[in-house]
Structure 1
Amino acid sequence: MTVTTPSIAVADPVFPGRWVGGASLVLGPLLLLTGVLLRLPFDFFFPAQLNAHQHHPDLMTVSYSFASAGWVLLWPGVVLLAARIGERFRELALWGGALTVLGLFARTFHAGVDHLAFQLVAVRGAESATRTVSETYGAFHVFSTLNAAIMGGWLLLAIGAYRSRILGPVRAVGLALASAMPLGVLKGTTPLSVVAAAGLCLALVPLGVAAVRSGPNPRAAAVAGRLLLLIAAGTAMFLFGQAG
């Protein structure tokens, strides 16, 4: 009888490494699920999302920020998972990993459009912002060509993870459900959104924990030094970004 293990241990790749990749697999899905749940009370379509931002700006800003941060933070974990799949199935790893990362790029573009739309709400009000978004919603952009990648990449990764015995059938289905997450700009939450985000958590969070635990723990001094460096770099990047 074959036993499926959540281990994602490989010869610890320099990039992204088990610590960055493992943290990505834990934090990315959890942030995404949090963001999805925060906007659950509001209707899915963009007029309601814009109206919700006018009446609950802090809540909607946190919701969309968490969701977009979750998508961005997933990429190192996807690279690590693809490397693990590639030990046995190179083509599935190559195509699944590449398409999924390209899909994450597209979702980041969508997040930028969401941000601009919400700024229109703040400046001109929800009614004007809704009219502007409605008139420009179908405008061409190069990232629209990646819609298939947004959906297909997760399916290929799920198949590869299952065939590689990294994930069992239930958690592989959870990973595949990420392809059902609504795509495009100003998308609210549906029951399927919650299921898809929860499926990602079910599939990836244990892998992230296993990745972090798969090797020796660093010395306390090294951990403290890296944390201080991370805090300093993060603070400097935040201030630099706010300066424009």
Structure 2
Amino acid sequence: MNIFDRKINFDALLKFSHITPSTQQHLKKVYASFALCMFVAATGAYVHVVTHFLQAGLLSALGSLGLMIWLMTTPHSHETEQKRLGLLAGFAFLTGVGLGPALELCIAINPSILPTAFMGTAMIFTCFTLSALYARRRSYLFLGGVLMSAMSLMLLSSLGNLFFGSIWLFQANLYVGLVVMCGFVLFDTQLIIEKAENGDKDYIWHCVDLFLDFITLFRKLMMILAMNDKDKKKEKK
């Protein structure tokens, strides 16, 4: 028997029998909005890095937070859909602008860090998203408490490190944070499915959860790569 004659059934690979058709349509809207967010965020980052017209930092952070709160408090309905999509685009743009200083720092260290970090983040996000989609429903929802506890411990250690100034604690927070965010991709994806199955079809707000997961993953991976590249340059000297 020739194993190379076997045909791969791609339709079977993309079939999620445990997810209802209405939820599958909801997920399509979520990921279409996510793709829009990624494009708009990339535009915002480009505007900052190339033109410096919009200075990132406190103003962009406050602006993105304000838009996120505005989006959260605007009820989901057919009448408000276009308005909420506009708020989502504005939030994504200012989030991209907020990445500007970190992007400039990485470009100064080694420009190849950016495409490496983006491709790495995309692969991690895709793999964990598919794991959540193919897994049995609710199988990863137990991670919620564990992940929130880990986030609380990381926040406390970061605040404590303001006084200690330990590079080891800073690096540990980066690596642990990367693992925690991988867990959040699993948890948030299954939580979105569960909410949609129970009638919550707010695809715009569900997109925000995944977008923040991706951005946080990208930021942490970018910082890890920049830190490692900087250490290698020091060793060569």
TM-score (structure 2 length as normaliser): 0.36
